[in-house]
Structure 1
Amino acid sequence: MKVQQLKIKAYCSIFNNKVMLNDQLLFENQETDFSSFIKLAYKNMDTNYPKFFKMDDLSKLGFLAADILLKPLTTDSERANNIALAFSNSASSLETDRKHQDSIVDKENYFPSPAIFVYTLPNICLGEISIRHKLYSENSFFIFNHFNAGYLYDYATCLINTGKADEVLCGWINRDTDDYEAFLYLVSTEGSITHNKEEIIKLYTTK
């Protein structure tokens, strides 16, 4: 196995009604709730993916952050991209699960619908990113109690050094009640930031 010195090529954060790429503010709107904010951010980023509006909030959050990072790399629609995905959070799709529970708890107002789960769950987020950017390599979604930089570091390093991926898009996307955050970063053999646990934690905590 050829061990390579890996780098963090770029990173994106969405939190507190802000969209950041590296240390640059791309979009901000403090006047709206999350659902309105994410739609405004989508339009401002010129994302142009109609199925975005069918997704649940978790998928919208991850999809938009990934699109900002991957769009410059995947503009050739005929080229398959060997970029793996390694996402994580602490709540899985709990927010949508609660909506489903609310739809069945009141027997006098019973309205469960499969539509709640058509574009939800973490695998939908990974799947739509893969379709959008023609990704055919590894993808995984991990559930941790908190952001686990060490595990993501080991996982991304292993994928690249064993030749299973050329690059890995890693990070954390969480949506639960009123809280949300996305932090994604692209691991590559190119870039200016050393890929190690300490740098990942630094980028995450200083976003």
Structure 2
Amino acid sequence: MQLQIQAHSIITPTSVQANGEFVLNNEEKHPFNLFGKELYRHLSIQYPKFFKMDELSQLAFLGTHLLTMHIENWDGDKVAIVLGNKSSSLSSDKRHYQSIADRSNYFPSPAVFVYTLPNIMLGEMCIRYKVTGENTCFIMEQLDVDFLHTYVQHLFEAEHYHYCITGFVDYSDSSYIAELYLVSSQKDTGAPLALDFDKNFNQIIF
């Protein structure tokens, strides 16, 4: 089955790009809690729940928004999400631990605790984009192109999905990245890209 990459987005501490074009530069070197909100406003997104999410979920949410801006509607049953991640929910885990470490000042926050699983990131993506197909997150040191290509290719062949959001989303207190790809079995003349999804899919050169 021949699959295509129809869109690509990448968010780093220095800049945001979508389909080979710069969207926003972090010239002031703001931390993500500020830069992410700046990007949210820049994209004119209207989704108040964004501000309740942890940083990992916000990162995935913004990267997915950039991927799917050309899609007006899709059948969520035919969409899958397969991501890689290194740090899991460690940032939220630390905040939760800090809230319970001192037994004399024990005040755990449900708003923090709910994000102490990386699967919550997937849940937030599925809710916002109405995805009801397979969604899974694998722990890996960095983007494992061979593994993700094999897994995603199998999903399309076995389950006949129309779209899959794949890539690598990771957030820690010192660094972060969202590198996402929209893979499709469907022809779409309105898609920003039409590149082969192969075992070198991360080597997109614009």
Sort the TM-score into its range (normalised by shorter chain). 0.7 to 0.9
Q: Contact 2:93/2:116 (CA < 8 Å) preserved in 1?
A: no
Q: Using the alignment, how far apart are the partners of 1:197 and 1:156 within structure 2? A: 11
Q: In the alignment, residue 192 of structure 1 is paired with which amino acid?
A: A
> In structure 1, which of residues 25, 40, 44 is the aligned counterpart of residue 38 of structure 2?
40
> In structure 2, which of residues 24, 28, 32 is the aligned counterpart of residue 27 of structure 1?
24
Q: Contact 1:67/1:129 (CA < 8 Å) preserved in 2?
A: no
Q: Using the alignment, how far apart are the partners of 2:195 and 2:69 within structure 1? A: 20
Q: 1:43 to 1:10 in 2, by over 3 A?
A: same
Q: In the alignment, residue 26 of structure 2 is paired with which amino acid?
A: N
- Partner SS, residue 44 of structure 2: coil
Aligned counterpart, 1:134? 130
Gaps of 5+ in 2: 188-192
Deviation at 1:197, TM superposition (A): 1.5
164-173 or 124-133, which deviates more: 124-133
Aligned counterpart, 2:182? 186
Deviation at 1:97, TM superposition (A): 0.5
Deviation at 1:28, TM superposition (A): 1.7
Q: 1:21 to 1:120 in 2, by over 3 A?
A: farther
Q: In the alignment, residue 186 of structure 1 is paired with which amino acid?
A: L
1:10 aligns with 2:7: yes
- Partner SS, residue 199 of structure 1: coil
Q: Contact 1:71/1:133 (CA < 8 Å) preserved in 2?
A: no
Equivalences, count: 198
Q: Contact 2:56/2:170 (CA < 8 Å) preserved in 1?
A: yes
Q: Contact 2:13/2:26 (CA < 8 Å) preserved in 1?
A: no
* Segments of 4+ moved more than 6 angstroms: none
Q: In the alignment, residue 59 of structure 1 is paired with which amino acid?
A: S
State the TM-score, normalized to the length of structure 2. 0.88
Q: 1:160 to 1:14 in 2, by over 3 A?
A: same
Aligned counterpart, 2:190? none
Aligned-residue sequence identity (percent) comes to 37
**What RMSD over aligned residues (CA atoms) do the two structures have, in Å?**
1.9
Aligned counterpart, 2:51? 53
Q: Contact 2:89/2:115 (CA < 8 Å) preserved in 1?
A: no
Deviation at 1:63, TM superposition (A): 0.7
Deviation at 1:36, TM superposition (A): 0.4
Q: Contact 2:145/2:201 (CA < 8 Å) preserved in 1?
A: no
Aligned counterpart, 1:122? 118
Q: In the alignment, residue 28 of structure 1 is paired with which amino acid?
A: N
- Partner SS, residue 200 of structure 2: helix
State the TM-score, normalized to the length of structure 1. 0.87
Q: Using the alignment, how far apart are the partners of 1:117 and 1:71 within structure 2? A: 31
Q: Contact 1:54/1:119 (CA < 8 Å) preserved in 2?
A: no
Aligned counterpart, 1:156? 152
